[in-house]
Structure 1
Amino acid sequence: MSVDVLGDALRRGPFHVALRTAIEHRGLSLARLRAHLSRMDISIAESTLSYWQRGLRHPDVHHALGAVRGLESVLGLPTDSLVVLLGPRQRTPRRTPPSASFAELVVAGPTTRELLADIGADPERCNSSMELQLAHERVTIGVDRSQAKVHTLLVGRALETGVDRYVAVYHGEPGCDVDVVRVTAGDGCRLGRVRRKDVSVIFELMFDRTLTEGETAVISYTVEDDSGVECPGYFRIFRAPSGPYLLQMQLPTEDVPARCVQEVRITESRPPTVSTELYCDRGYVVSAYYPGSERGIAGISLEWR
C-alpha cells in the first residue's frame, strides 16, 4: 500500500477507513496491535479494534481518547491524525431499545424492583450495559419434585467501558422460603450483595475486573433451594433481546413428569406463544434450545402425574 493512499485516508476519513488503512499499511494483525497497546498499559479488546476498523462502532471521544492516541503511536502515524476524526459528526450513537420492566413480565416484578432499588440498581436499566450473547442453564429437579438446584452460565459483552458486575434474579415458587436459598458464585465472578423478600432473591455477581467496551465476560453461578416446593417448571426472564439460550433439566429417575413442554410467553400471566412437547433422553435429561430470545420469558413447564 502506498503512502499516498494512507495519507488520503487520514485526510478524508472517516475514522474506521483511516484506521483500517493504517493497520494494513503497518502489516499488523489485531492480536499483535492489541499486544503493543497492552505494553503501553492500554487495555482494549481485540473485538473492539475489529468493530472500530469495520465501522460497526465508533470510539467514545471521552473514554477512548487514550486508546486512539496509543494507536497513532503503534501505527507510526502523526500526532492527532486519528484523534481529529473522532468529532461528534463522525459518531453514530448506539440506539439501545428500552428493556422491559420486571413488573411487566412477572407477578413478582414489584418486589424485584424494590430489592434492586435497595442495592442502588436502577430497576429499569439494570444490566443494560451488558449484551447477553449466550445463556446455558441446568436445573436439577429433586426426588421431592422441587427445584433443588439451578446452575447458570452466561456470556455477555460490555456495551460501554466501566461494567464491573451483573445483577441476577431468582424467583422461587409460591410458598418457598427464600432464607434457605443459597447462592454460590462460579467462574469469572464473586458474590456481592444479596437481598431477599417474599419469593425473590437478587444478588450481585462482581467481575474479576472492570470491562472495557466490547470485552466479553464469562460467568457462572449456582442457586440451591431447599424449600421443597413442587416445581411446575422453570423459566428465564429476558428483559431485552438476547442470544441463544439452552435450558436443560435433570429429572428424578423414579418420578418423571407426565409432560415436559417448551414454552415462550410474552408475560408470566399470558398463555404461551410457543408450546412444544419435549422428551427426556435415557439420562433423564430434557433440553429446550432457543436460537435467540426476544423480550418475555422462556423455559420448560412440567405436568406431574
Structure 2
Amino acid sequence: MTDLPPPFATALRAAIAQSGVTLERLAADLRERGTPVSLATLSYWCSGRSRPERAGSLAALAELEDLLGLSANGLRRLLPERRPRGRAARREVEPVAAAAPWHREDQVRDLLDRYDLRRDGQVSRLSAHDRVEIGPDRIKRVQRTKQVLRAEEEGVDRLVVVCWGDGPDTPAPELVPVRNCSVGRVHVDHAAGLTSAELVFDRPLARRETIVVEHELRTAPPRPAALSHQRMSRLPVREYLVEVRFDPSALPHHCVQFSEMDGQERVRAVDLDSEFTAHALGMDLSPGRYGLRWSW
C-alpha cells in the first residue's frame, strides 16, 4: 500500500494547482523577494520528500503563502515538529571545522538562469566519481569527474555543470572535456570565481540509453592549499564516490566525510588507506552538499 503524502505537501500542491502558477515562476518570485529556494527544493516540498526547517526556508515559506494567496501560517501550521538537532542528529564527530563554499546561492542561480534547463531533469545521474590528487604543496593537482548518465527521453544531448576553485580569491576554473563530450556554452562569474558550462554529448541519446562522460577542472595560479572537495548536486544522484589522494609528504591531520541536506549535516571521520587516499561513498543522494574535508 502506498503511503499518503504528508498534509503539508498535499496542501502546498493544492494551493499551487489552484493558483495556476508554475514552480519555475514561484522560484523566480521568491528570488526577487530575497528568500531564494531552488526549483528542486520546491518540488521536494510538494512531494513530501523534504520540508522547510531552516530559518531561511521558513522565511521563504511565509513569502510562498503570500504569493499563493493563503493566510499567514496557513502552510506552516501543517508542518510536524522540527526534527532533532545536535548530538542526537548525526553530528557526533566533527574533528574539522566546516569549510562551506564562499559563493552565495543567488550567484549560482544567476549562472544557471542563462541556460534552458527544461531537459535537465531528463538526464538521470546514475553515478558520479570525483578523483582528486593533492600535491606536496597541499594544492589540488588533478580534479577529474566521471559520470554515468541515462537519458529518460529521446534526444537528450547535454548537461549543465557549475564549478569553482578552492578559495574566495581563486580564479574561476576552466572545464576541460576528457571523454565522450565537448564543452558548449560557458559563462564565468569572475568576481565569485564560478564557472558554468554545458557538457555536450558526442551525439544525442536514445531514450533509456546510457553514456559515460568525463571532464577535468583546471585552475590558474595562485591557488591556496586545499581544505575540502565537495559536490553540490541540484538533482538526485544514485551513487557518488569521491576519492582524494594525498602526497605522502603532505598528509592531513584529520579527514571527515560530510553530507548536508535541508541544513542538517552528517559527519564521519575517515581514515586514509595504504595509498594515502581518503574516500566516501554515498547512495541514493538527494540534492545537497557532499564531500570530504580535512585539516593540515
TM-score, shorter chain, exceeding 0.5:
yes
Counterpart position of 1:132: 125
Counterpart position of 2:213: 219
Counterpart position of 1:184: 176
Q: Deviations over 1:104-152 (max 9, x none)?
A: 897432122222233x334xx5721111001111012233323333100
Counterpart position of 2:157: 164
**1:236 aligned to which of 231, 236, 249:** 231
Is 1:99 aligned to residue 93 of structure 2? no
Q: Which runs of 5+ in 2 are unaligned?
A: 1-38, 43-55, 58-99
Q: CA 1:218 to 1:210, structure 2 compared with 1: closer, same or farther past 3 Å?
A: same
Counterpart position of 2:271: 279
Counterpart position of 1:148: 141
- In the alignment, residue 249 of structure 1 is paired with which amino acid? V
Is 1:117 aligned to residue 117 of structure 2? no
TM-score under structure 1 normalisation?
0.60
Is 1:245 aligned to residue 240 of structure 2? yes
CA distance in 2, matches of 1:236, 1:147: 15
Q: Give the drift of 1:228.
A: 1.4
Q: Give the drift of 1:173.
A: 2.9
Is 1:193 aligned to residue 185 of structure 2? yes
Q: Is the 8 A contact 2:119 2:156 kept in 1?
A: no
CA distance in 1, matches of 2:116, 2:133: 30
- In the alignment, residue 282 of structure 1 is paired with which amino acid? S
- In the alignment, residue 172 of structure 1 is paired with which amino acid? G
Q: Is the 8 A contact 2:143 2:216 kept in 1?
A: yes
Q: Deviations over 1:258-285 (max 9, x none)?
A: 1110111126xx462x211111122111
CA distance in 2, matches of 1:257, 1:177: 22
Q: CA 1:126 to 1:297, structure 2 compared with 1: closer, same or farther past 3 Å?
A: farther
**SS of equivalent residue, structure 1 residue 289:** strand
Is 1:290 aligned to residue 231 of structure 2? no
- Aligned pairs for 1:26-41 (under 5 A) are none
Q: Give the drift of 1:294.
A: 1.8
Q: Which runs of 4+ in 1 moved over 4 A?
A: 103-107
Q: Is the 8 A contact 1:99 1:128 kept in 2?
A: no
- In the alignment, residue 112 of structure 1 is paired with which amino acid? V
Q: Which runs of 5+ in 1 are unaligned?
A: 1-97
Q: Is the 8 A contact 1:178 1:196 kept in 2?
A: no
**SS of equivalent residue, structure 1 residue 191:** strand
TM-score under structure 2 normalisation?
0.61
Q: Give the drift of 1:230.
A: 2.2
**SS of equivalent residue, structure 1 residue 292:** strand
**SS of equivalent residue, structure 1 residue 261:** strand
Q: Give the drift of 1:99.
A: 2.0
- In the alignment, residue 201 of structure 2 is paired with which amino acid? F
Q: Give the drift of 1:291.
A: 2.5
Counterpart position of 1:207: 201
Is 1:260 aligned to residue 255 of structure 2? yes
Q: Is the 8 A contact 1:260 1:300 kept in 2?
A: yes
Structure with the bigger percentage of strand: 2
Q: Is the 8 A contact 1:184 1:223 kept in 2?
A: yes
Q: CA 1:158 to 1:288, structure 2 compared with 1: closer, same or farther past 3 Å?
A: same
- In the alignment, residue 115 of structure 1 is paired with which amino acid? L
Is 1:302 aligned to residue 294 of structure 2? yes
Corresponding residue pairs, total: 200
Q: How many percent identity over aligned positions? A: 26
Counterpart position of 1:175: 168
Q: Is the 8 A contact 2:178 2:215 kept in 1?
A: yes
Q: Give the drift of 1:154.
A: 0.3
Q: Deviations over 1:63-121 (max 9, x none)?
A: xxxxxxxxxxxxxxxxxxxxxxxxxxxxxxxxxxx6248x9897432122222233x33
Q: Deviations over 1:152-209 (max 9, x none)?
A: 0001111111211111111223334335x23210111111122211121111111111
Q: Is the 8 A contact 2:232 2:288 kept in 1?
A: yes
CA distance in 1, matches of 2:178, 2:219: 17
